[in-house]
Amino acid sequence: MAEEDNPHIIDMWQVDEERLASMLENISQDPKLLSKAAGKKSCCIFRVPTSLADVNGKAYQPRIVSIGPYHRAQPRFNMIQEHKWRYLGSLLSRTQAKGLGLEDCLKAVALLESRARECYSETIPLNSHEFIEMMVLDGCFILELFRKVGRLVPFEPDDPLVTMSWILPFLYRDFLKLENQIPYFILERLYELSNLPQEESTPTLSSLALEFFNHSTLRPDEVIARFPHLKGKHLLDLVRSSFVPNLNREQKRVPTPTHVIHCVSKLRSAGIKITPTERDSFLDVTFRSGVIEMPTITIDDFMSSFLLNCEAFEQCYNGCSMDITTYVTLMDCLINTHRDVEYLCDRNIIENHFGTDGEVAHFFNSAGKEVAFDIDTCYLSQLFNDVHQYYRSGLHVQWASFKYTYFDTPWSFISALAAFILLVLTVAQTYFSAVQ
């Protein structure tokens, strides 16, 4: 007889009422660390997955300023937290004379509270007053800094956020950390409210924001000017979107499984060249007639942080393309060692402001780990396959390999020439000896 059919055993086992109550309570509770709303399109601000954080260390953690709830009230951010209140006061000093006070800002954001909470993947343990205060304080600080750096309003004399040259570069990076965001529509509402009537000719919020971050992205002004009405889920998504809108997406799926490509050294041995090209976005990579054309990308502290946080956003948010992830995967394929980085630097594909060539190689190799995306539907799927087919094709690859081995450097050419001359002399000596 099976134990489950024995009523005596069932009678002997008594239900622990306290444990039963605990289990029922757990069943009734909603998840907090990854809320049920995290799967909705409205949810766009996430904790970085542990799998990525373990690989890339502190790349996702803000260094000097906390924006939003995830890193709020940590003592290490107290210095900039104090200046947030000063910047809020600076903004209100201009708007109060025109009838806009602090209470108006709080009321406007209060109408958006429920929508703003849905943007976070975690349940935010703040009451309404605390949450609204945080949105207004952080949003007005960002907007006022945008205006001051954009010279719409002057900085106060001897403002330490400007006079101390180390602070602004950290703010550029911290404002683009995935865990350090507030919803873009909050910034839009506060920007709309705080624009005075005589400021009607001021730039749009997207233009002002992209101009602010262009101190680090260093794109031509005419490129930034093309996005006056660009929107994003938050600032990270806004800047990310400014790099991806015009990519060729005509072919969404290739007919055969997509193959990853080899590193630079192996591609060169097969006669595939990599050349720089002038394009608006570093993502705009093409391949034709044995040549990969890639725009120049500057790898520094800002760009490395930006790439990693965009990649984390694409891994978490189900409403965007995987373009940054695809590009990082491409670079991970191309780069195996510092020699590959050295070649890309020599070809002006990479401007290395990051460190040694080995450090750049380590960055891309680490960034390419623990990411998930569909290589068959990515925007570079056709390029991956075309390069793979060219690499495997016939006689020209063997000839290219011969040239790469014997004529790639002056020393290899001299060695090959010396070997050829020695062979000719040996044959001649043998011939004349036979004739004699």
Residue 52 pLDDT class (50, 70, 90 cuts): very high
CA atoms within 13 A on the CB side of 99: 2
Distance CA 35, CA 23 (A): 19
The pLDDT value given to residue 430: 73
Lowest mean pLDDT among 23-27, 221-225, 340-344: 23-27
Q: What is the mean pLDDT of the chain?
A: 87
Instruction: Please tell me the distance from the alpha carbon of residue 205 to that of residue 365, in angstroms, as a whole number.
Output: 36
**Judgement on whether residues 90 and 200 belong to the same structural domain of the protein:** yes
pLDDT at 251: 47
223 pLDDT higher than 70? yes
What is the maximum alpha-carbon separation in the chain?
Answer: 114
Which of these ranges, 112-116, 312-316, 420-424, has the smallest mean pLDDT? 420-424
Tokens read off for 18? 């306290």
**Are 74 and 106 in the same domain?**
yes
Which range scores top for mean pLDDT: 5-9, 57-61, 89-93, 98-102? 89-93
Query: What's residue 306's pLDDT?
Result: 98
Phi and psi at 73, nearest 5°, equal 70, 20
Total number of domains constituting the chain:
3
Whole-Å CA distances, 219 to 150, 191, 208, 210, 214: 16, 24, 14, 10, 6
Q: Which helix (H) or strand (E) holds 351?
A: strand 350-352
Q: Name the percent of the chain lying above pLDDT 90.
A: 67
Confidence category of residue 35, pLDDT binned at 50, 70, 90: confident
22-26, 322-326, 368-372, 391-395 — which one is most confidently predicted on average?
A: 322-326
Judged against a pLDDT cut of 90, whether residue 404 lies above it is answered with no
Do residues 387 and 431 both lie within one domain?
no
> Does residue 92 surpass a pLDDT of 50?
yes
Tell whether 117 and 204 lie within a shared domain.
yes
Q: Is residue 259 part of a domain?
A: no
Q: What is the pTM of this model?
A: 0.86
Q: Which residue has the higher pLDDT, 131 or 399?
A: 131
Q: Helices 102-110 and 184-194 meet at what angle, rounded to 10?
A: 150
Looking at the fold, whether 194 and 235 belong to one and the same domain comes out as: yes
Predicted local confidence at residue 8, as pLDDT: 59
Sign, Cα dihedral of 186, 189, 193, 199: positive
Residues 379 and 328 in one domain: yes
Q: Is there a single domain that holds both residue 122 and residue 177?
A: yes
Is 112 domain-assigned? Answer: yes
pLDDT of res. 400 = 46
Is 326 a member of any domain?
yes
Element (H, E) at 138: helix 128-149
83 shares its domain with 196: yes
More confident residue, 427 or 405: 427
Shared domain check, 297 and 157 = no
Do residues 383 and 426 share a domain?
Answer: no
Q: Beta-carbon neighbour count of residue 382 at 10 Å?
A: 17
Is there a single domain that holds both residue 199 and residue 296? no
Among 264, 275, 240, 146, which Cα is nearest to 202's?
Answer: 146
At position 261, the amino acid (one-letter code) is I
Q: For the chain, percent helix, then strand, then coil, each to nearest 5?
A: 55, 5, 40
Residue of 315, 372, 305 whose CA lies nearest to 121: 315
Tens digit of each residue's pLDDT (9 = 90 or more) over 380-389 = 999 999 999 9
Query: 107 and 181, same structural domain?
Result: yes
Most confident of 32-41, 186-195, 237-246, 425-434: 186-195
**pLDDT tens per residue, range 143-181:** 999 999 999 999 998 999 999 999 999 999 999 999 999
419 domain-assigned: yes
Among 29-38, 65-74, 242-251, the range of highest mean pLDDT: 65-74
Whole-number percent of the chain with pLDDT over 70: 84
**22 vs 95, which has greater pLDDT?**
95
Whether residue 38 lies inside any domain: the answer is no
Count helices and strands (H / E) in the chain.
21, 5
Question: 255 lies in a domain?
Answer: no
Size (the chain), residues: 436
Q: Could you list the residue range(s) of the whole structural domain that residue 406 is in? A: 396-435
Alpha helices, DSSP H only, in 195-280? Answer: 205-217, 221-224, 235-241, 264-269
Q: Look at residue 413 and tell me whether its pLDDT is greater than 60.
A: no
Higher pLDDT, 34 or 60: 60
Rg (CA), the chain: 29
Q: Is residue 323 part of a domain?
A: yes
